[in-house]
Amino acid sequence: MRHEAEEQARQLIDERLVQAGWVVQDYKRFNLGASVGVAIREFSVFTCTKNMP
């Protein structure tokens, strides 16, 4: 379980991104075509590299 302070920080960051015009999405279900600016929560570049040639 996440620490309360970390969760509050993530919520604040998400709010600020939305205020700046970004679309914030979960990494398990994201659509990069949803907007010009798309932020993906808790995205790991290490997860994606497993599928690269």
Domain boundaries, the chain: 4-49
**Which tokens go with 3?**
């620490």
The distance from CA 22 to its chain's CA centroid, rounded to whole angstroms, is 10
pLDDT of 49 > 60? The answer is no
pLDDT of 4 > 70? The answer is yes
Mean pLDDT of all residues in 16-36:
91
Mean pLDDT of all residues in 4-31:
92
pTM over 0.85: no
Contact 43, 25 (CB under 8 A): no
